[in-house]
Structure 1
Amino acid sequence: MLDALLPLAILALWIALFRWILPWMGIPTCMSGGCGLPPQTEAQEVPPRTHPDR
């Protein structure tokens, strides 16, 4: 029984650490939205590329 609970407890601790504990301590994590990725914005139209010889 302990063999099955140990991996689940480690997983729960890992999630809690990265979701709540580290951000509370001021350490940004991806689970807390601190990955440094640019925010999602609406799609913008891209002008068609032109060939340099034209």
Structure 2
Amino acid sequence: MHTIIKDVVFITLAVAVFVLVFRCARQAVVSLTQWHQRRGAGKPVDNVLSARGE
């Protein structure tokens, strides 16, 4: 039984870490995109918003 519990805990931790990393990466991409737009100031914002699904 103990090995199963350990496996479940390990998988749960792995998924949690993966989700956190994924969220941080997505936030970084969004920030970089906005920063890039501010520098370029030529591309329409609507394209990025539609690409993000908002």
TM-score > 0.5 by shorter chain: no
Between the two structures, name the one with larger relative contact order (CA 8 Å, sep ≥ 6): 1
Higher Rg: 1
TM value normalised by structure 1: 0.40
TM value normalised by structure 2: 0.40
